[in-house]
A and B are shown apart, each in its own frame.
Chain A
Amino acid sequence: MFKRKLSALNYPQVDSLNTSDENEVKKVILWLEENKIKKYKPESRQNIRNINSSEWKKSYDKYKQDLACPIKSDVITDELDWFIKYALELEYNSKKATYEKHTVENLKSASTPNVIAANPLDHLDFGGKDFESGVKNLAQILKISPHPNPLITLKAISKVVCNRLSRNAIEKPNDFIIKGTPFPFEDANLGFDLGDVLLNRAAKILTLLYIQNLRDLQTKSNELIVAAQSITANPKTDTKLGKVGK
């Protein structure tokens, strides 16, 4: 159970370590003190170096006290675990700068381009009057009916911009803008009746949104199949095999 941690600390006899042998555990504790923890000066480590002495237990208890080890159980392996963790902590803190290069956040940011901290959008006041009227104007230009909450209007604007005003959509509108034929939505059968004209209308709109969602999903599945086909497909025909019956 200590193998990984000890090998991280470069303990030499990781593979042969037998933690049920008390003497070996003592040796590990001593090694940790001598190489990693270094609580005592080298010359004052004599007492705990003497692991075979009858006085060892006494000096060990003192050592624990000096390190403020919180483990109260008399199981020496529990204490060993604490010593190792403590040593790891010291090790980490001493080389913090090196290790932090490898944290998830840092790895992520290393692979993505640096975000310019001076993004003007970060300093926008989303609650301000200027923002509200700006969004309203933008919505008017794009012919989007504004929602009382400017953030929701902004979301709608972003959808229009992404779907209709992207570079692809402007350069090749036939390929990227989905062409549909209008469907008489008022006459469409909803499949159920909520007993209220307005509610039925709202339910119809939700149904249409749901269908659109489903369509997107299906289109993505189809794209996935086509991608897989580019690897697997190899249609063959052999007219010699053909035979017309009677």
Chain B
Amino acid sequence: MNVEGCFYVNATLEKLMLDELRNACRPGMVGGFLPGVKQIANVAALPGIVGRSVGLPDVHSGYGFAIGNMAAFDVNDPLSVVSPGGVGFDINCGVRLLRTNLWEKDVLPIKEQLAQSLFDHIPVGVGSKGIIPMNARDLEEALEMGMDWSLREGYIWAEDKEHCEEYGRMLNADPAKVSMRAKKRGLPQLGTLGAGNHYAEIQVVDEIYDKWAACKMGIEDKGQVCVMIHSGSRGFGHQVATDALVQMEKAMKRDNIETNDRQLACARIHSEEGQDYLKSMAAAANFAWVNRSSMTFLSRQAFAKQFHMAPDDLDMHVIYDVSHNIAKVEEHVVDGKPKTLLVHRKGSTRAFAPHHPLIPVDYQLTGQPVLIGGTMGTCSYVLTGTDQGMLETFGSTCHGAGRALSRAKSRRNLDYTEVLDKLDQMGISIRVASPKLVMEEAPESYKNVTDVVNTCHAAGISKKCIKLRPIAVIKG
């Protein structure tokens, strides 16, 4: 190991982590991913890593890197690497939160209609296709321009760009580095939610912990209605990552890069493969932002139709948009010296402190809003970045609940009708494309998001601001 590996847990989460490790070490256990603890250690042994290999409280095993792992590499060290496994297959998967000036009592009477309207506007599920007409040329432009494309075409508002990480556009994106196959997969999928843990939810503010920060976000009181969209770059990002892994294996052989795990395929940042990956990853990130922007447009339309009011009059502004599967070049202080780092955040959200130049002007005093999506039927949180987080985790925190049971195990142990009934009892309207996959996403399959968030708050790497609970869920 080149640096230390560490993870943030409370007692409950620690037990889950160590159980995972114990199960993996039982005789006869082969195949599947390595346990998260081992993966954090393997990442700590990668060349060029600085600081620590950090596991956030929601960490669980994934391809190569654990999901919920932050690792930063010194850009000026010629040995440093970039790894697609450190970003994940769903490049720039992220969460966007819209506020409204509606209250729970305004929405409850037409909750079902509103859920249906959202479901009709936003295509969901595996193999879904979007309703925004796009041709190949539009896609090329969208890949290069990110949210600037959505702005130019009039799908979103100028303020949306202001409240988005990177202003919704990675400037180093190069669509020419993306394979034809990825583009073919991506084209019909723009403006779709996808499947898996992705969702669109109508939520209400359940608790406000930091009144002033909430007020800066336009959240006035409990009961205010918000819309949360959790989605990524769909098949496009998956193909970009798959293509890159093939290239990286070649580069590893050529440059004699050794890793503890074959899944940690990587290339030197400054090698051709490394640069090509960063450029295509940026294009996939732009794809994801355009995707979330298109769904923002569609959600606004759905609300406008139900309430017979313009989205402007409903004050449907974007509070923030975070990316939790991405690698970015950032300036950080390491051992008292400023350094340029390539920060991989996989299942980890950027959480910059107040006064950081890269966060929007409206949040200069509060710190960057961090959106933590819960699981179906559980609550979600808004946190804010802290100075301590800048020092300990290079401004990174958790991203969600984090899986506790594998998908296969959830399917075996749970019954989908029970899951749906339970949501119904909780008063949550649900629209789902494939009910039989619902149990994979049942709250029982995940860690408790409140445990995760409280751990981050207690560790000081981010601060609790708002708690939201769902009243309607749209899922793939």
Binding site for B on A (CB under 8 A): 181, 183-184, 188-191, 207, 211, 214-215, 218, 221-223, 225-226, 228-229, 232-239, 241-246
Determine the chain A residues whose CB is within 8 A of the CB of B215 once the complex forms: 181, 183
Supposing A183-B212, A207-B355 touch, asked if A245 and B162 sit within 8 A by C-beta, the answer is no
Bound-state Cα–Cα, A239 to B476, Å: 18
Judging by beta carbons under 8 Å apart, are A242 and B131 in contact? yes
Of all chain A residues, the one with the shortest Cβ separation from B436 is A246
The 8 closest A-B pairs by CB, nearest first: A233-B154, A245-B125, A245-B128, A222-B158, A243-B129, A245-B127, A225-B158, A242-B131
Known: A234-B154, A237-B131, A245-B125. A191 touches B361 (CB 8 A): no
In the complex, what's the smallest C-beta–C-beta distance from B139 to chain A, in angstroms? 14
Whether A226 lies near B195 (C-beta < 8 A) is: no
Cβ–Cβ < 8 Å partners of A188 in chain B:
354, 365
Q: Kindly list chain B residues whose C-beta atoms are within 8 Å of the C-beta of A218.
A: 162, 360-361
Taken together as a complex, chains A and B put the C-alpha atoms of A157 and B358 apart, in Å, by 34
Contact in complex: A214, B131 (CB < 8 Å): no
Q: A181-B215, A183-B212 are in contact. Are A244 and B128 (CB under 8 A)?
A: yes
- B83-105: contact bitstring with A at CB < 8 Å (1 yes, 0 no)? 00000000000000000000000
Shortest C-beta distance, B376 to chain A (Å), equals 17
The answer to whether A234 touches B153, judged by C-beta atoms less than 8 angstroms apart, is yes
A229: chain B residues within 8 A (beta carbon): 151-152, 154, 158
A245 touches B355 (CB 8 A): no
A235 and B155 contacting across the interface, CB-CB below 8 Å: yes
Task: Say if the beta carbon of B159 comes within 8 Å of chain A.
Answer: yes
Given contacts A189-B387, A215-B362, A246-B126, 8 further A-B contacts (CB under 8 A): A183-B365, A184-B212, A237-B301, A238-B133, A239-B131, A241-B130, A243-B129, A245-B128
* Closest A residue by C-beta to B159: A222
Contact partner of A226 (CB less than 8 A), chosen from B158, B353, B355, B433, is: B158
Known A235-B154, A237-B132, A244-B125: A191·B354 in contact at CB below 8 Å = yes
- Tell whether A211 pairs with B153 under 8 Å between CB atoms, given A222-B162, A241-B131, A243-B127: no
Q: A191-B353, A222-B159 are in contact. Are A215 and B131 (CB under 8 A)?
A: no
Contact A191 B155 (CB under 8 A): no
User: Complex: how many Å from CA A241 to CA B191?
Assistant: 11
Residues of B within 8 A of A246 (CB): 125-127, 433-434
In the bound assembly, the distance between CA atoms of A221 and B365 in angstroms comes to 21
Residues of A within 8 A of B188 (CB): 241
**Interface SS, B side:** loop
Q: Mark B129-150, 1 if CB is under 8 A from A, else 0.
A: 1111100000000000000000
- B123 with A244: CB separation less than 8 A: yes
- Which residues from chain B contact A235 at a C-beta distance below 8 Å? 132, 153-155, 297
B159-202 near A? 1/0 per residue, CB < 8 Å: 10110000000000000000000000000100010010000000
Q: Which residues of B contact A245 (CB under 8 A)?
A: 123-128, 192, 195, 433-434, 476
Known: A183-B365, A241-B131, A246-B433. A233 touches B153 (CB 8 A): yes
Q: Shortest beta-carbon distance, A31 to chain B, in Å?
A: 60
B132, A236: Cβ atoms closer than 8 Å = yes
Count: A-B pairs, CB below 8 Å: 102
Cβ distance B90 to chain A, nearest Cβ, rounded Å: 16
Q: Is the CB of A215 within 8 A of B361?
A: yes
Q: How far is the CA of A222 from the CA of B163 in the complex (A)?
A: 12
Give the distance to chain A from B189, nearest Cβ to Cβ, in Å: 10
Task: Point out the residue from A207, A215, A225, A238 that lies within 8 Å of B161, measured CB to CB.
Answer: A225
Whether B123 contacts A211 by the Cβ 8 Å rule is no
- For the complex, is B117 an interface residue (Cβ under 8 Å from A)? no
Closest to B125 in A: A245
- Expressed in whole angstroms, the minimum distance between the Cβ of A35 and any Cβ of chain B is 60
Give the distance in Å from the alpha carbon of A218 to the alpha carbon of B162 in the complex. Answer: 8
> How far apart are A222's CB and chain B's nearest CB, in angstroms?
4
The residue in chain A whose Cβ has the minimal distance to the Cβ of B127 is A245
Instruction: Give complex CA distance A242, B365 in Å.
Output: 42
Closest Cβ neighbor of A230 among chain B residues? B154
- In this complex, what residue of A is CB-closest to B193? A245
B129 to chain A, nearest CB (A): 4
- Determine whether B364 belongs to the interface, using a CB cutoff of 8 Å to chain A: yes
Write 30 A-B pairs (CB below 8 A) sorted by A numbering. A183-B215, A183-B365, A189-B355, A190-B355, A191-B387, A215-B362, A218-B361, A221-B158, A222-B159, A225-B158, A229-B152, A229-B154, A229-B158, A232-B153, A233-B153, A234-B154, A235-B153, A236-B133, A237-B301, A241-B130, A242-B128, A244-B123, A244-B124, A244-B433, A245-B125, A245-B127, A245-B192, A245-B476, A246-B126, A246-B434
Residue from the set B129, B131, B133, B216 with the largest chain A CB neighbour count within 10 Å: B131
Residues 337-353 of B, flagged 1 when their CB comes within 8 A of A and 0 if not, give: 00000000000000001
CB closest chain-B residue, reference A232: B152
| Residues of chain A lying within 8 A (CB to CB) of residue B155 | 235
In the complex, chain B residues 327-386 whose Cβ is within 8 Å of any chain A Cβ: 353-355, 360-362, 364-365
CA distance A229 to B155 in the complex (A): 10
Report whether B162 and A211 are in contact in the complex, using a CB–CB cutoff of 8 Å.
Answer: no
A233 to B150, CA, bound (A): 9
A137 to B155, CA, bound (A): 52
Residue of A nearest to B298 (CB): A237
Nearest Cβ distance between residue B317 and chain A, in whole angstroms? 12
Q: Which of A181, A225, A237, A244 has the most CB of B within 10 A?
A: A244
> Which of chain A's residues have a CB closer than 8 A to the CB of B192?
245
CB distance from B162 to the nearest CB of A (A): 6
A188 to B129, CA, bound (A): 47
Task: Say whether B158 contacts A242, CB under 8 Å.
Answer: no
